[in-house]
Amino acid sequence: MSERLVIIDGVRTPFCKAGTELASLTADDLGRIAVDALLTRTGLDTALIDEVIFGCVSQPPEVANIARVIALRAGIPESVPAMTVHRSCASGFEAFTTASERLAAGRGSIFVVGGTESMSRQPALFQDITVRKFAELTKSRSTKDKLTALAAFRVADFEPRALVHVAQTDSFSGLSMGETADLLAREDGLTREQQDAFALQSHQRALAAEARLAEEITPVYLGSKPIARDNGPRADASMAALGALKPAFEKYGTVSSGNSAQPTDGAVALLVMSESRAKELGLQPIGALTAYAYTGCDPAYMGLGPVSAIEKVAQQSKLTPADADVVEIHETFAAQVLGVLSRIKPPIPPDKLNVNGGAIALGHPLGATGARLILTSLKELARRKAQRALVSLCVGGGQGSAIWLERI
């Protein structure tokens, strides 16, 4: 068996709801801030980095391969290659496990990995019909043709399609992510109250964990005030307030914006390397990657992805949820987490699950979340002086992902 991949350090920007404090930054801005902070506090000679691997679901249209742009902007030498990975909501995981595969294949030993997403600055697309009409207009030569082409436009043609909505609708089943959650809630008989109670707990735990989460955060300096806190968790969250929200996807559905993950801006960066390199450089790792698995499932039940992924990784590593001291099951929807929990044996005790809140409170910058879960769970292991963490994400398009980490 090849060498273990260890995590030296990690840092993230605050997670801020889309359209709020970080809205003026692009995904590469956010990624650069996280990587720069990581490199500054570790003091690593950047020429030693073998590759930069970043996850991002909706790359800004002006940057192809955002990982490369982030690397260069963070002052990493031009000679260091960089690659962007995409496994939807698990892109942050993918960056991390890709580094592990590179290491196993003998293709490098020091990596900067992470994920970034600006959901404030999602590109908006013209509809296909509008694009065709523009093409017609460009082709027109005579004034008459131009006028005819212009006359074909309708007001509705200019209604943009936000890429984020496009990306969050499964193109295979045609269901939006929210609809998959409502489907699950219907079939499992999950009530609105159960889901809202779970959401409320996410907010309460995230608020209580503010000081702990602050350990992960590097402030962002915009204007002349520091932005240093996640702004998703709501102190005014209550069953009544959550209950007052309309169903977000289905007329009689139970999934609301309150019991779903919030669209959010943020980025996470992790410094990972082989255990022997860490020793050579005199760096003290905070944890190691033990095992991981990705699985596929019915896209209409994408929320249940963690069930099969946790099962698969158990077959490989003999680790079951009972071995975990800390568990993170990513909260895309309360209904989806509840659906997963009811299917996992043995059941996960509440005092080990998402103990610092989850994406319902902290938000879900798509490409960054996986890397945050790795960082948050390793910090929690250290606080608890505990050994193992199980981290799992459901993935739009019908996949599951699960990672086992251990403290060093």
Partner 1 sequence: MPNILRETLEEGIFLLTFDRPDSDTNIFDFDTLSELESHLDAIASPEHHAKGLIITSAKPGVFIAGADLLALRKMNTEEVKTFIQRGQSVFNKLAALPFPTVAAVHGAAFSGGFELCLACDWRVASSAPETTLGLPETKLGLIPAWGGSTRLPRLLSVPKALDVILGAQVLPAAQALRAGLVNEVVPKEHLRLAARRWLERGKYEPGFAHSPAVNAMVDAVIAPGERHEVQQKTHGHFPAIEKALEVVLKGSASWDAADALERERDAIAELIASDTTRQLLNLHFAQERARKFSVPDAPAEVAAIKRTAVIGAGVMGSGIAQWLAAHGLPVILRDLDTTPLAEGMGNIAGLFAAGVRQRTFTEREARAGRDRISPVTTDVPLQRVDLVIEAATENLETKKTIFKRLDELVRPDAILATNTSALSISELAASTRNPRRVVGLHFFNPVHKMQLVEVIVGPETAPEVAQRVVRLMQQIGKLPVLVKNSPGFLVNRILVTYLAEAGALFWNGAEIKDIDAAMREFGMPMGPLRLIDEIGADVALEVSALLANAFPTRLHVPDVLPALQGTGLLGRKVGKGFYKYRRGAEASPNKEVAKLRPPGQLKPPSRDEIEQRLVLLMINEAARCLEERLVSSASEVDLAMVLGTSFAPFRGGPLRYADSIAVVKVAEELTRFAESAGPHYAPCGLIRDMAKSGKRFYED
Residue 137: CB atoms within 10 Å = 16
Shortest Å distance, C-beta 265 to partner 1 = 18
Can 56 be counted among the known catalytic residues? no
**Longest CA–CA separation in the chain, Å:** 76
Closest CB 302 distance from partner 1, rounded Å = 37
- For residue 364, indicate whether it is catalytic: yes
Does the footprint of partner 1 cover residue 11 (CB under 8 A)?
no
Q: Where are the beta strands (DSSP E) in 121-245?
A: 124-125, 161-162, 220-222, 225-227
43 binds partner 1 (CB under 8 A): yes
Minimum CB–partner distance for residue 56 and partner 1 (Å): 18
**Residue from 75, 77, 174, 349 in contact with partner 1 (CB under 8 A):** 75
Which of 2, 24, 41, 101 forms a contact with partner 1 (CB under 8 A)?
41
Q: Which one is catalytic: 89, 203, 297, 330? A: 89
Q: Is 32 an interacting residue with respect to partner 1 (CB under 8 A)?
A: yes
In the complex, minimum distance from the CB of residue 218 to partner 1, in angstroms, rounded to a whole number: 9
CB count, 10 Å around CB of 4?
Answer: 18
Which of 311, 303, 272 is CA-nearest to residue 405? 272
Does residue number 225 form part of the binding site for partner 1 (CB under 8 A)? yes
DSSP letters spanning 96-148: HHHHHHHHHTTS-SEEEEEEEE-STT--EE--HHHHHHHHHHHH--SHHHHHH
Site string for partner 1, 165-204 (x = CB under 8 A): ----------------------------------------
Residue 228 lies near partner 1 (rule: CB under 8 A) = yes
Measured CA to CA, the distance from residue 244 to residue 391 in angstroms comes to 32
Q: Which two tokens stand for residue 230?
A: 């996640």
CA–CA distance, 37 with 43 (Å, rounded to integer): 10
Residue 36 lies near partner 1 (rule: CB under 8 A): yes
Listed ranges 67-75, 99-107, 156-164, 295-303: which one lies at the site for partner 1 (CB under 8 A)? 67-75
For residue 215, state whether it binds partner 1 (rule: CB under 8 A): no
**Which are the contacts of 258, defined by CB distance < 8 A and separation ≥ 6?**
196, 199, 237, 241, 242, 245
Task: Please identify which residue in 25, 30, 52, 74 interacts with partner 1, judged by CB under 8 A.
Answer: 74
Residues that bind partner 1 (CB under 8 A): 32, 36-37, 39-43, 45, 73-75, 219, 221-226, 228
Q: Which residues are catalytic?
A: 89, 364, 394
